[in-house]
A and B are shown apart, each in its own frame.
Chain A
Amino acid sequence: MARVLLRQLLVLLLSLVTLTIFTFSLTLFFPQDMVIIAGQTTNDFGNLVNHYWHYLNSILSGEWGQSRINGQNVLDEFLIHIPATIELSVMALLFSLCLGLPLGIIAAENKNKWQDKLVVSSTLIGYSMPIFWWGMLLVLLFSLTLGIAPVASRIGFEYDILPVTGFMLIDTLLSDQPYAIEAFYNALEHLILPTIVLGTIPLAIFTRVTRSAMIEALASDYIRTAKAKGLSYSRIIWLHALRNALIPIVTVISLQISVLITGTLITETIFAWPGVGKWLLEAVYRRDLVTLHGGLLAIAMIVIMMNIMVEIAIHFINPKLRRRK
């Protein structure tokens, strides 16, 4: 066990170092802007290692440069914007898992029957849907035409909620305003459409993966033996099959993190969601390379760390790997 952890930690360190080398090389494209972080570059490659060292020091000490948008420290700005993105992404992930797993199981259970075909075609449609269009359609239908969903933002403007944690759902409950509970439900309402938009592609992917994993698990020998022995489709069999199917599903979760972040860029634009995606797009429009560098670095770090965590989780779940000494 400890060995596994140690190995993963090493991989983490290696990946992070590679990352910083990569982002450092990006800064060479625009040395003026990155002076604060990388120090004065002199286009002299002999000094490259020194510059990299200076760069690494800046990054580790939290000096990530100043955003051109409002002059604040890039790292601080990132930390201000990330809770909104995390809240949305977590909701989207939960949405796609809670819907995707059951749908995949139903499809696997009824392989080649109409339920299966329906699910498979739906996933294909969900997978092929350009989410910026999908978002626009949902807003047109539910917000503008039917008026049953909010148009944008995390919460109605009439609620004054102090940003304690940055997570709106928590902050509303923490608020001492008389309308705190009402605000909480309002925040939930505002989460509905963005969650659906962001979660559509992960939903399609989870459904597919669950379906194929379950089909494979159900076709495995010991399940067939159990069925032949006379056990019905009882819950026990399901749990066994599911446990084996879990591995590819968890593997896919780590891939979904990238998908979610890509989706977040577009979703936050459509719904004016004040998260990292919107922040980075602002930076692109203003050619604020310092902010972009910071955002890229931070997000890449998060993705790498999440991937490592999923790797560790897989080791726990997969008995084959677990027993290997």
Chain B
Amino acid sequence: MSNQPQFYQQSQIPSTINRWRRNFGQNKMASAALLLLVLIVLVAIFAPWIAPYDPATQFSDLKVPPAWYDNGMSQYLLGTDDLGRDLFSRLVHGARLSLKLALIVVVLASSIGMLLGCITALSGLLVDQLIMRLMDLILALPSLLLAIVIVALIGPGLPNAIYAVAIVLIPHFVLVTRNAIKAELSKEYVTAMILDGANKTRLFTRSILPNILPALVVQLTLAFSTAILEIAALGFLGLGAQAPYPEWGTILSESHAYITIAPWTVALPGLAIFFTLLSINLVGDGLRDAMDLDE
């Protein structure tokens, strides 16, 4: 394909996916971010093999700085915290935990959200308005506020934090799905196909679904980054993963007290969250540009 000279392009129109892939590849920042993201995912998957120690083991070497400092120790690459736990192992397991949690949240929110979105888009006015009013309301509420109210109702801790964040994210999926479907439905080719007598289900799966895919994919990446951030925020506030889970936000809430004497225990987990979010956002941006979507 790439060997074809330019002026014969019309005989080889690249498929949509390939076109997207090529657009994305031309975006250097996004490609680099994708690599970083893949790296983070790999670290998360292989965490038990990568981490030299168990994240909860307390050694007697307390508050050791990272290995490249003068008084660092080589066996603790990123140093230890106030209870003598190896920071590198904690961060690596934290990656696994954060990504796993975010994945669960996004799968939950997207499946429920997209289902609801389809239902409202294809239903009559009353059902549509009812659900949309409710979604509008939840969307109007600040996400973290709603999350902490839910946590207050059902109690702090890991599983509840997942439910809380998932509930907060559902309306976004509902909105995007519904709007995208409605936009497609109003297009002329759909009207034409219906007049032609096309089977409604096949219409939906063959034509509409693929066309709303870009919007959904972008929403998924957005939701992923929001999920990681919200879970970390809840952890930081003490409402999410509880100690000694090595969730990055929880680690920050514990190391906050030692900011002046062990600043690496604050800087490094924060950097982990930052780079993860940055790479997801860059990839999301790149996808949006590649798929030629309006904001």
Contacts and interface: CB of A to CB of B under 8 A. Distances in A.
Interface of A: 14-15, 18-19, 22, 26, 29-30, 124-125, 127-130, 132-133, 136-137, 139-140, 144, 212, 258-259, 261-262, 265-266, 269, 280-281, 283-285, 287, 289, 292, 295-296, 299-300, 303-304, 307
User: Which among A125, A128, A259, A295 has the highest number of chain B CB atoms within 10 Å?
Assistant: A128
Given A130-B232, A266-B236, A284-B239, A261 B274 contact: no
B199 to A, nearest CB: 37
A15 B152 CA distance: 25
Given A265-B145, A303-B142, A281 B237 contact: yes
B19 interface: no
Nearest to B33: A124
Contact of B153 (A18, A26, A285): A26
Interface of B: 133-134, 136-137, 140-146, 148-149, 151-153, 225, 229, 232-233, 236-239, 249, 252, 256, 259-260, 263, 266-267, 269-270, 273-274, 277-278, 281-282, 285, 295
Contacts of A266: 144, 233, 236-237
Contacts of A303: 140-142
B273 A133 contact: yes
A133 B266 contact: yes
A231 B273 CA distance: 48
Contact of B274 (A18, A29, A133, A292): A133
Contact of A140 (B144, B233, B266): B266
22 contacts: A15-B137, A18-B133, A124-B281, A128-B274, A129-B274, A130-B229, A130-B232, A132-B252, A133-B273, A136-B252, A136-B256, A137-B266, A137-B267, A140-B260, A140-B263, A144-B259, A258-B142, A262-B143, A283-B152, A284-B148, A287-B152, A296-B149
A296 B141 contact: yes
Contact of B281 (A128, A295, A307): A128
A67 B225 CA distance: 35
A130 B233 contact: yes
Contacts of B229: 130
Contacts of B148: 265, 280-281, 284, 292
B252 A133 contact: yes
- Give the dominant DSSP class at B's interface: helix
A18 B149 CA distance: 18
A299 B141 contact: yes
Contact of A300 (B141, B144, B252): B141
Nearest to B259: A140
Contact of B278 (A128, A140, A265, A289): A128
A265 B137 contact: no
Given A124-B282, A296-B141, 13 more contacts: A15-B133, A15-B140, A29-B153, A128-B225, A132-B232, A136-B259, A137-B266, A137-B270, A144-B260, A281-B237, A284-B152, A285-B238, A296-B149
Nearest to A213: B295
B145 A296 contact: yes
Contacts of A139: 259
Contacts of A15: 133, 136-137, 140
Contacts of A26: 149, 153
A265 B273 CA distance: 19
Contacts of A283: 152
Contacts of A299: 141-142, 145
A243 B237 CA distance: 42
Nearest to A270: B256
A14 B249 CA distance: 38
Contact of A130 (B153, B267, B273, B281): B273
Given A128-B281, A130-B229, A258-B143, A22 B259 contact: no
B239 to A, nearest CB: 7
Those 4 A-B pairs whose CB atoms lie nearest each other, nearest first: A133-B270, A261-B142, A128-B277, A128-B278
Given A261-B145, A289-B152, A212 B278 contact: no
Given A14-B133, A258-B143, A261-B142, A132 B236 contact: yes
A267 B134 CA distance: 29
A22 B139 CA distance: 13
Contacts of A285: 238
Contacts of A265: 142, 144-145, 148, 237
